[in-house]
Amino acid sequence: MICAWMETSSAEIGSSQTMKSGLTASARDLYTAPKHPYTEALLSAVPIPDPTVKRQRIRLQGDVPSPIRPPSGCRFHTRCPIRVLPLCATEVPPLEEKSDGHWAACHLRD
Ligand code: SF4
């Protein structure tokens, strides 16, 4: 359930929409094919309990935006490693079902 929350939270960050029931992804889908760059960054920080396995960490740059004055467009655009300007800075990405039962808000991800 935590996994589903993470992806829902990512979608929420991208769209600034309130969490709704049904905005979930299966744990397998979330881990194997995250649909939002923020989710990817979160998952890249999860430790692997095997010292021989290395994971490429995604380190987000910049400061966390103020919740009082959130950025325009996609709320994640100031820290997103794959953003496309000006679209991401001006247009709020719609919350979409990217695959069966897997919802996310991102202009670039299908
Ligand atoms: S690519 Fe654009 S829309 Fe998608 S998460 Fe990054 S800033 Fe947001």
What are the extents of the domains in the chain?
2-60+94-105
Give the whole-angstrom CA distance, residue 23 versus residue 68. Answer: 25
- What values do phi and psi take at 31, rounded to 5? -75, -35
In ligand 1, the atom with minimum distance to the C-alpha of 38 is 5
In ligand 1, the atom with minimum distance to the C-alpha of 80 is 6
User: What pLDDT is stored for residue 20 in this prediction?
Assistant: 40
Tens digit of each residue's pLDDT, the chain (110 residues): 444 445 454 444 444 443 343 346 778 888 889 999 999 999 999 999 999 998 899 999 988 999 999 999 999 999 999 999 999 999 999 999 999 888 899 999 98
Residue 64 CB neighbour total at 10 angstroms: 8
**How far, in Å, is the centroid of ligand 1 from the Cα of 57?**
18
Helix (H) or strand (E) holding 41: helix 37-44
Q: Which residue has the tokens 């923020």?
A: 38
CA triplet 110, 78, 65: central angle to 5 degrees? 120
**How far, in Å, is the centroid of ligand 1 from the Cα of 51?**
32
Strand, coil or helix: what is 4?
helix
